[in-house]
Amino acid sequence: MGEQVYLTTFDNWSFWKVRATGMMMSNVNVKVKCEAAGMRYPCHYSGADGCPDDYWASDCITFHHDATCRTHQALSVELCGHMAGYGSHCRPLDDTFVYWPGPNGDCAWGVTYGEIHHGYGLNGFNYNNKYALCTVTTCARSPCAHGTCTDDGGNYTCSCENGWTGHDCDQDIDECASSPCSQGSCTDDVGSYTCKCEIGWTGHDCHQVDDCLSSPCAHGTCTDDGGSYTCS
């Protein structure tokens, strides 16, 4: 599947860069790499209402960004706080390419970051071993270990199953933390607990046994002694 590096999340899409090893970075290569990783892919433009559609295709994702219609610039704002150089001045976007349905046919559009030279509008056919920009809806990667995921405005929310907690529902709740076994030892189970009661105690939470309940004193009065009884 190749190296995958998480970049950022906005407008319900998580953006990743996926290594395209040993192949020319064409539109087809971007598409194949993203789909092999179980992801989709953005075009050079976002496809949102009000944005030009000459560098966007219907098989690309559609997203909205308040600052720009260009994918690399939108990512640069989220990652680096600016969109200078079409994203080529943002180090995390170094050597990343997007699907570009432009005038040059099957050619991806890329940027490169350098301490001195920054480049954008790179022709994908001139580069090997670079990264395809890929996307996935936030819940599509199943981040909730023991719960149900809901997309939530560029992030996600997990509704945890009984016995689990944490942002990703990956932390087992310690049901023994409140010391529920009044007279016994507690064993934590997923979503419940088990008490091993001391002698003279019983029930789910180890309540005291009434040793006089069976009327053991044939001709006398019974006194419960907590684990035994006395007849007067």
168 and 144 in contact (C-beta within 8 Å)?
yes
25 and 124 in contact (C-beta within 8 Å)?
yes
Q: Would you state the pLDDT for residue 174?
A: 93
CA torsion sign, 16 to 21 to 26 to 31? negative
Q: Would you state the pLDDT for residue 172?
A: 92
- 156 is a domain residue: yes
- 177 is a domain residue: no
Q: Are residues 134 and 72 in the same domain?
A: yes
The neighbour count for residue 163, using CB atoms within 10 Å, is 18
CATH classification of the domain holding 155: 2.10.25
Q: Are residues 194 and 123 in the same domain?
A: no
Q: Are residues 135 and 149 in the same domain?
A: no
Q: Would you state the pLDDT for residue 1?
A: 46
Q: Are residues 110 and 203 in the same domain?
A: no
Domain around 154? 142-172
- 179 is a domain residue: no
- 57 is a domain residue: yes
Q: Are residues 110 and 25 in the same domain?
A: yes
CATH classification of the domain holding 195: 2.10.25.10
The count of structural domains within the chain is: 3
State CA 97 to chain mean position distance: 24
Q: Are residues 146 and 135 in the same domain?
A: no
- 13 is a domain residue: yes
Q: Are residues 162 and 131 in the same domain?
A: no
d(CA 132, CA 97): 5
- 126 is a domain residue: yes
- 105 is a domain residue: yes
Q: Would you state the pLDDT for residue 12?
A: 78
Q: Are residues 11 and 120 in the same domain?
A: yes
Domain boundary among 172, 193, 217: 172
**DSSP bridge partners of 9:** 14
Q: Are residues 9 and 27 in the same domain?
A: yes
Phi then psi for residue 186, to 5 deg, are -105, 135
What is Dmax (Cα atoms) for the chain?
107
Q: Would you state the pLDDT for residue 207?
A: 80
Q: Are residues 23 and 87 in the same domain?
A: yes
For the chain, give the mean pLDDT: 88
Q: Are residues 208 and 190 in the same domain?
A: yes
Q: Would you state the pLDDT for residue 91?
A: 94
Q: For the chain, which ranges sit under pLDDT 50?
A: 1
Q: Would you state the pLDDT for residue 115?
A: 65
164 and 147 in contact (C-beta within 8 Å)?
yes
Q: If we measure between CA atoms, which residue out of 55, 77, 57 comes closest to residue 66? A: 77
- 125 is a domain residue: yes
Q: Are residues 165 and 85 in the same domain?
A: no
State CA 219 to chain mean position distance: 71
CATH classification of the domain holding 119: 3.10.100
